[in-house]
């Protein structure tokens, strides 16, 4: 039993899928690299957790408060 050769439409679709796959892998690699750099940089990662922390406040500059 022999298989029929792929139609031209399937060949184009396959090349688009490969291109999309490469793009997604590059995006995942970029996000991973940024995460590794942020974690290994050593800066304290602080987020809003519904508690008041003075180190998270912006310093007041000038005579008026925003």
Q: Is residue 59 in some structural domain?
A: no
Domain that holds residue 34: 12-39
**Whole-number Cα distances in Å, 8 to 4, 15, 16, 17, 48:** 12, 11, 13, 14, 54
Q: Is residue 28 in some structural domain?
A: yes
Q: Is residue 23 in some structural domain?
A: yes
Q: Is residue 16 in some structural domain?
A: yes
Q: Is residue 65 in some structural domain?
A: no
Q: Is residue 35 in some structural domain?
A: yes
Query: What total of structural domains would you count in the chain?
Result: 1
Q: Is residue 7 in some structural domain?
A: no
pLDDT digits (tens, 9 = 90+) for 8-59: 888 888 989 999 999 999 999 999 999 898 888 876 666 667 777 777 677 6
Let me know: does 45 contact 55? Beta carbons within 8 Å. Answer: no
Longest CA–CA span in the chain (Å) reads: 86
Say what the pTM is: 0.55
Q: Is residue 50 in some structural domain?
A: no
- Residue 63 pLDDT level (bands cut at 50, 70, 90): low
Let me know: does 38 contact 45? Beta carbons within 8 Å. Answer: yes
Per-residue pLDDT, 5: 73
């Amino acid at each position: 039993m022999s298989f029929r050769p792929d139609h031209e439409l399937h060949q184009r679709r396959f090349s688009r899928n490969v291109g999309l796959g490469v793009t997604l892998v590059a995006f995942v690699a970029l996000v991973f690299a940024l995460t590794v750099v942020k974690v290994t940089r050593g800066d304290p990662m602080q987020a809003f957790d519904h508690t008041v922390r003075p180190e998270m406040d912006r310093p007041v500059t000038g005579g008026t408060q925003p």
